[in-house]
Amino acid sequence: MNNVEMDKDLYTDNYSVQNKKSLWLRIWQHRLYYLFMLPGIIWFVVFAYIPMYGLTVAFKDFSFVGGITGSEWSGLKYFKEFFNFYQAWDIIRNTLIISLMKLVIGFPMPIILALLLNEVKVLKFKKTVQTISYLPHFISWIVVVTILQRMLTPYGGPINEIIASLGFSKIQFLGNLDYFYQIIILSDIWKAAGFGAIIYLAAISGVDQQLYESAKMDGANRFRQVWHITLPAIRPVMVIMFLLACGGIMTVGYEQLLLLNTPATASIGTVLDVHVIQSGLEQGRISYATAVGLFQSIIGVILIIIANSISKKVNETSLW
């Protein structure tokens, strides 16, 4: 080894030690901010990472006494069982249809709401609307569905009473194939749009006001300002939110579907999340349910990776 090489090695070692030290030093310097991250990190470790070892159950014959670690390995038996199940492809199709509808129709809603709220100049009114719109997020699905049942029932429900008073015949909304998708999508939008708008409102508030001033001077109207300034400014946030939504395409939310799906709508309303709950908890087929759940997650990860790389190439915004 010559001197130059030795110097280079020493330099690299010193640099990495310094770098390491400086990282810990920087963490210590900003310890308060790191402390703010602590509950989040603990949450992820406890509720997201530690339970992951439970996924091995998908490849085992789960027994109550053996538990997750002690049960016998069974390979891909439960995955095969799922794909051989005569309703498997119907369930996957139903999941994809509802999910894509939620994505296509539901995804733009918080953005539209945020843009509309941003245009409201009366602060009191804006805050009131914002509060009312995000409150449904905190109401559980069981309450939402009970309200829907009471509102929409043809037997004394206010919606149908109005329909009847206008001279039309009453409509059986729930448990009706003709109205199933509409109710699923609209109730989802009603529950999620307000809360989802918060992140876009935050992004909009970060847009440089001088841009609007310049646009005004150039003669741009409100719509043009939104189109040429606001939307491009919040595009990175929109893309990130869209990428995350892509990961959830195979999951549509078991609570909503479990509660709103009825036998009359089962042909289009039985989705993977409900199938997992029914086979795992109602039938006690833990390994099978885990296998189906894992399948959902794997597809979700693949979709995120694909969407992320497309986004990286097309508009240079990506999750990683």
Partner 1 sequence: MKQKLLVFLMIVISFTLLAACSNEGSSGEGDGEVTLKVLHNWNGSGGGAPEDPVNNPVAEKIREETGVTLDIEYTNGSEVDKLTQVLATGEFPDVYIGPAWGKEAELLLEAANDGLLHDLTPYIEEHERLAEVLKEENMSVSLYNDIISQQQGGQFILHSMFPATEDDIVDWLYGLYVNKDIADEVGIDPNSVQTPDDLYNFLKAVKEGGFETNGNEVFPLGAYDNGWPLDITSEMFVPVAGAGSWFIDEEGNARYNFMTEEYEEWVLFMRKLMHEGLLDPEVFSHTGTIAREKISQGRYAVMPNQFNGMWNDTKQGGLEENYVPLGPMEDFNGDRYRTEFNVQGSQLIAIFADASEEKLEAFVKLFDYLSSDEGYMLAKFGVEGEHYDLEDGEVVAKEEAVEKINDGTLKDEGIDTAFLTLTGLDRESSLGGGPFGHQVNKQYQAKQEFMEIFRQDGVNAATGLDPYAVLKNHPNFAQIEPVTTVMGDVVQQAIHSSTDEEALSIINETREALRNAGIEEVAAEITEQAKSGTEFMRYRTSN
Residues at the interface with partner 1 (CB under 8 A): 32, 35-36, 38-39, 42-43, 46-47, 62-65, 67, 81, 85-87, 146, 149, 153-156, 172, 174-175, 262-264, 266-267, 270, 278-284, 286
Minimum distance from CB of 162 to partner 1 (Å)?
Answer: 16
Is the distance from CB of 95 to CB of 269 less than 8 angstroms?
A: no
Minimum distance from CB of 140 to partner 1 (Å)?
Answer: 15
Which residue's CB is nearer to partner 1, number 156 or number 219? 156
Which residue's CB is nearer to partner 1, number 54 or number 248? 54
Burial of 226 (0-12, 13-18, 19+ CB in 10 A): middle
CA dihedral for 298, 300, 303, 307, sign (positive or negative): negative
Minimum distance from CB of 43 to partner 1 (Å)?
Answer: 6
Which residue's CB is nearer to partner 1, number 11 or number 43? 43
Which residue's CB is nearer to partner 1, number 146 or number 315? 146
Which residue's CB is nearer to partner 1, number 8 or number 150? 150
Minimum distance from CB of 169 to partner 1 (Å)?
Answer: 12
Minimum distance from CB of 52 to partner 1 (Å)?
Answer: 15
Which residue's CB is nearer to partner 1, number 184 or number 286? 286
Minimum distance from CB of 163 to partner 1 (Å)?
Answer: 15
The residues, ordered by sequence, that sit 6+ positions from 199 with a Cβ below 8 Å of its Cβ are 110, 237, 241
